[in-house]
Structure 1
């Protein structure tokens, strides 16, 4: 999957800045925008023009917007697909991610729709906004700047932000300082960091996609973050489990369920054990999962969203060549040691004294004549 190529604009180095350094760097960034791209928003708009950060932050021109948004990479839990079958070569060594490629933050910025309106609106059948990021990535043996698009219908719904603040602080460099895109309910790849240009176009950019289908909204998904797979768990009949559930496109998880027997029987997590529901964010959860089993067990998690979408049972049903959107039920294998379990079978895991006591009743190796 290769997107259109753009001339590389050197990304900023990472690190902490003083207040004065931030002001200087902000001025330098605005200079780069004016010199390299005099029209920050161009293409099929009535009046192409550039905007400084001061312009965007002027509340007399653009109403300020605050949103709490979950961003989930389309490669979340990709390792499960890789383990099943090989797929697109670049993704195997570069991004074998597990269930942690997701996060939630509070952003402050302005609606991209208002900025487009300030340019006189779209013209000549424009239906998409192309977003240029000043980072370089490697794909299909080529290096290029980051470039994706979002449909005008998404922008028109005020669901795309130009953000400069994250969790009450200036946008961190690693998250796209000084300006990034935040697309609500879409895959994280659409939320371009280090934004330096927006171009109105008729057709969508080709990336990111899988099997010829553009990836936009995330499907309903969930994951167990604790315990970890292959852990030995010593418990008293209940295993403390924690995780997240999320659905894209403005949907939200309504129910989360856990199983200790591979998905034959399910426990519904009580609503009071889920975080509050919001339109654009995940719901975290925790639950003491009943378990009387001794030995290896498979804990499974699945979620249902408010549109009654749920997760397919097995990763094979979610496999695709691009290794995106692993939305199947999340499964982990753990070794259960139930301290409350009664019976002599537990002695086989005990101390030497317990072995001796056990052997005094049934002989350790020999049978009587």
Structure 2
């Protein structure tokens, strides 16, 4: 638990190990304000902006009008593994997320593309913006949460307006009655408690699109950063982490199975995972599960023969473009602590 109000929590790494689908009570929670309690009976979705036929839909109307779809997708917070960056240099005011700010679910809803086509999306609408009622309480202006994605992503078939998660009604803390699910992109773009979808020429002007969730230069002051500064985060960077054994764990010497996850955002897949016992001088290739769909993480495992004493275990992944994770967190440090996808490292101690 990083905060109770607003609720921000991640599972211990071992709770994610070996599970292609994350149980609802294990799925990480990331919020910027108090969780709003919306009445599904009176809730309405407004679809407006650069459209021929703006819409106002109840949940029942949404379900009755459009075909139901299910997508298995991993969501990952942009601050996942921030704790590794804080070991390089302090990041004041930001939660030290470990490797558990990522989870995978089976999401059910309707394609955003179908809704926009029904509303008559006009040429020139380059971005689709999302607005929710939860008000920011964690730095920055007190305004409702908002964000956007380019229309090319919004109209791809995998982006959903979802009302169910793992075959059950969407839990309140995960966005009930309706949320956006943008597979392959940082979790901040999968807006919860969705109330408005707007087709527009420019990206959302909301704080969490224009100012936050941007990688600033190391010398920048986040307190004075303005709209458009830094690099806007979208597709998730290639990442991997060790889930079991845990960092600092004491084990028996001999064969030990090491397991974890690897994930390549956007439309990439993980091609290979390597594990090292000598900080990258030599590597052994881990066994890699097939993903449960095109937008899901992959779990990996490798049995290592660990000697008595201290052992440092390192993991890196490669994706289908031939890209690999960068070696050190010090090369990635930024003032908000986003997008740490450096090699993951743990230390264990083995006895007889």
Separation of aligned partners in 1, 2:287 and 2:328: 25
Q: CA-to-partner distance for each residue in 1:152-193, whole Å, 9 max, x for gaps?
A: 010122232101111111111111111000001001110011
Instruction: Say yes or no: does 1:259 pair with 2:263.
Output: no
Conserved in 1, the CA contact under 8 Å of 2:257 and 2:303?
yes
Conserved in 1, the CA contact under 8 Å of 2:291 and 2:297?
no
Q: Flag structure 2 segments of 5+ consecutive residues without an equivalent.
A: 1-32, 205-209, 217-229
Give, in angstroms, the shift of residue 325 of structure 1. 0.6
Q: Flag structure 1 segments of 5+ consecutive residues without an equivalent.
A: 1-7, 14-24, 34-39, 340-369
* Aligned mate of 1:228, from 241, 246, 250: 246
Q: Would you tell me which structure has more helix in proportion to its own residues?
A: 1
Give the structure-2-normalised TM-score. Answer: 0.81
Give, in angstroms, the shift of residue 308 of structure 1. 1.1
Instruction: Say yes or no: does 1:179 pair with 2:178.
Output: yes
Conserved in 2, the CA contact under 8 Å of 1:219 and 1:247?
yes
Q: CA-to-partner distance for each residue in 1:329-367, whole Å, 9 max, x for gaps?
A: 001111122x3xxxxxxxxxxxxxxxxxxxxxxxxxxxx
Separation of aligned partners in 1, 2:277 and 2:286: 13
Larger Rg: 1
What are the equivalent positions in structure 2 for 1:232-243 lying under 5 Å apart?
Answer: 232-236=250-254, 238-243=255-260
Conserved in 1, the CA contact under 8 Å of 2:287 and 2:300?
no
Equivalent residue, structure 1, for 2:213 = 208
* Aligned mate of 1:64, from 65, 68, 72: 68
Moved over 4 A (4+): none
Which stretch has the larger CA shift, 276-285 or 261-270? 276-285
Q: CA-to-partner distance for each residue in 1:254-300, whole Å, 9 max, x for gaps?
A: 111111122211110134xx3446320001122211223x3222110
Separation of aligned partners in 2, 1:85 and 1:133: 34
Superposed CA RMSD in Å reads 1.9
Q: CA-to-partner distance for each residue in 1:187-215, whole Å, 9 max, x for gaps?
A: 11100110011112211121432221110
Give, in angstroms, the shift of residue 111 of structure 1. 1.0
Give, in angstroms, the shift of residue 77 of structure 1. 0.3
Separation of aligned partners in 2, 1:166 and 1:173: 11
Instruction: Say yes or no: does 1:11 pair with 2:36.
Output: yes
Instruction: Say yes or no: does 1:41 pair with 2:55.
Output: no
* Aligned mate of 2:297, from 254, 263, 282: 282
Q: What SS does the aligned partner of 2:55 have?
A: coil
Q: CA-to-partner distance for each residue in 1:108-132, whole Å, 9 max, x for gaps?
A: 1111111111212125x22111111
* Aligned mate of 1:82, from 75, 80, 86: 86
What are the equivalent positions in structure 2 for 1:198-347 lying under 5 Å apart?
Answer: 198-205=197-204, 206=210, 207-211=212-216, 212-236=230-254, 238-271=255-288, 274-276=289-291, 278-292=293-307, 294-337=308-351, 339=352
